[in-house]
Structure 1
Amino acid sequence: MTGPADTDVPHALDARVVVYSREGCHLCEAAEAMVAEVCADVDATWARVDVDADPALVRRFSDMVPVTFVDGRQHDFFRVTEARLRTALGSS
């Protein structure tokens, strides 16, 4: 899921985890809840970016949200798995 083009995506506030999502998306809400829980537990920063606020992000992600980045690299899309996110953040 990662590749050189992943670094082209703007990231919010230097957060370790960034969730690109949109309002009214049930998968986005679930992903954000999981990210918030895990990040609070491991003391990692996270941010939400509304893809609909930026035409470039709409073109990039279209309906493929939520998209989760960890440390600037694409980590997941659609669903966030707790164990996988913990591993990516260095605490399993």
Structure 2
Amino acid sequence: MSKPARLPDVVLVTKADCHLCAEARAAVGRVTAALGIGWTEQSVDQDAALRERFAEEIPVVLVDGIQRDFWKIDEVRLARTLRRALDTQS
């Protein structure tokens, strides 16, 4: 019996009152929905460590803990990154 594939961990780091964050939510939502995977959102407003790490780069997309994009999310690049992550898991 084979081990079930682990899905990539996709996290969008945001902050309040951020117009780029709203665009990023939509972009990440479209890409992950098309690939059938979930994602989570974390706010720097609630996490001092995230705020210190990403202060000037919000929004940020992390895939398996690695920063993959910031400010304006490139959907093509994100989809390619996630497909690669899915391929390596299977």
The TM tier, using the shorter chain, reads: 0.7 to 0.9
- In structure 1, runs of 5+ residues without a counterpart are 1-13
Aligned residues: 78
1:24 to 6, 12, 17: 17
For the pair shown, which has the larger CA radius of gyration, 1 or 2? 2
Query: What value does the CA root-mean-square deviation take over the aligned residues?
Result: 1.7
Deviation at 1:16, TM superposition (A): 2.0
TM-score (norm 1): 0.77
Partner of 2:69: 76
Runs of 4+ aligned residues of structure 1 deviating over 4 Å after TM superposition are none
Of all paired residues, the percent bearing the same amino acid is: 40
Gap runs ≥5 in structure 2: 1-6, 85-90
In structure 2, C-alpha distance between the alignment counterparts of 1:61 and 1:71, rounded to whole Å: 16
Choose 76-85 or 55-64, whichever is displaced more.
55-64
Contact 2:24 2:73 in 1 (8 A): yes
